[in-house]
A = this chain, B = another copy of it.
Amino acid sequence: MRVGVYKIPMNDPADVSALRGLIEAGEVDPRLIVASIGKTEGNGGANDFTRALATLSFSRLLGDYLDLRPEEVQERVAFVWSGGCEGVISPHATFFTRDDSVTGTPTAGGGLALSVQRTRAFLPEEVGRMPEVQEVASATRRALAELEIVDPRDVHYVQVKGPLLTPARIRDAERRGATVVTTDPNRSKAYARGATALGVALALGEVQADQVSDATIANDLNLFTSVASTSAGGELVSCEVLVFANSPRSSSPFRIGHALLRDAVDAAGVRSALQSAGLSFADVPSAEQRGRIAAIFAKAEAPPGGQLRGWRTTMLSDADINYERHARAAVGAVIASVTGDPAIFVSGGTEHQGPPGQAPIAAIVATE
């Protein structure tokens, strides 16, 4: 297996010109694209439609090459977008190709491997509850099997994108006499992100089956995975699970690593992720090493109680700018200050993703 990593700039959420350029130049084979992860310049909230525009635009482009309708492309390619380019974060997308026909020399120590899995569709009353935990765990296990991963420590990043409860879905459940985990659509995001994160944790052995129940989801935050980044959107009914690992089967010229960000200004955590992915440096990566960083994926969160290293931040009391926007601005700038590159994936909401107040960060680095 060989996984390709292509980070492209976007001039607006509908700008597919950079990917078209790579395809036209023969650098990217559109038939091999399996997923993308990117940032769009919306507000990141419930009324952020830049994600939908980007998905539609890229699936139209690929549909032209593959002779498929956009909706068919979306069944084949997992598009993951996070809205909100606060601070220096640059709108961009990282496209992933996977070529199973390549059977070259495996990368020493294992090369980057990627498996994309989907769960079955969920009923509204299953969202944010144990059925979602179990199905995500199964999907993650399928990915591990497909990638022939035996040691879960070879998994460094699992991106999960799943459903939340929309007003329409809540009404559907109520019509059938079923009860949902919450009737507040915004609050359902926490349960949905939490359940899918616990599913990953279960599959990777980070928590045990008897520790997890409906009551622990979005509640007992001492249960967590250190490698998952999960999001919830109104457009989905099933979950898409992207498992990134270093696999002995892979001949990709990339490796992936991860670390935890202790808080929103933890430059040392950023450096740890780069080192985990294979860059050797003491305090500051060299220019050559910076050039080998292919992609960074991080979560951002307001500090507990709004207190950062003993000082009050205003994230949680600001009625003009949502706290996730403040947190992404900070984390994005700190990462860019280490890597020298503001095209970073930073998204918000960390339930069961790292210890309370901390957040996972993954880095993909070229092996040479």
Q: Which residues from chain A sit less than 8 Å from chain B, CB to CB?
A: 9, 11-14, 41-50, 52-53, 56-57, 85-92, 167, 264-268, 282-284, 305, 308-309, 311-315, 317-322, 325-327, 329-334, 336-338, 340-343
| Separation of A79 and B161 alpha carbons in the complex (Å) | 33
What is the total number of copies of this protein in its complex?
4
User: Is the Cβ of A14 less than 8 Å from the Cβ of B49?
Assistant: yes
Q: How far is the CB of A340 from chain B (nearest CB, A)?
A: 6
Chain B residue contacts of A313, Cβ below 8 A: 85, 87-90, 342
Nearest CB of B to A188, in Å: 14
Residue contacts A-B, CB under 8 angstroms, 10 given: A12-B49, A12-B52, A87-B327, A88-B265, A91-B314, A264-B333, A265-B333, A330-B336, A333-B334, A334-B337
Q: A308-B90, A319-B44 are in contact. Are A52 and B341 (CB under 8 A)?
A: no
- What are the 5 closest A-B residue pairs judged by CB atoms, nearest first? A45-B319, A283-B283, A330-B333, A329-B329, A90-B311
- Inter-chain contacts of A266 with B (CB < 8 A): 337
Residue of B at shortest CB range from A326?
B87
Q: Is the CB of B43 within 8 A of A319?
A: yes
Contact among B9, B90, B331 with A333 in the assembled complex (CB-CB below 8 Å): B331
| Distance of A331 Cα from B265 Cα, bound (Å) | 11
- A44→B327 CA distance, assembly (Å): 19
Chain B's closest residue to A312 (CB) is B90
**Most B C-beta atoms less than 10 A away, residue of A12, A43, A46, A87:** A87
In addition to A46-B317, A309-B341, 4 A-B residue pairs with Cβ atoms within 8 Å of each other are A85-B313, A88-B330, A265-B336, A329-B330
Q: Are A48 and B319 interface neighbours, CB within 8 A?
A: yes
Cβ-closest chain B residue relative to A12: B49
A200 CB to closest chain B CB (Å) equals 27
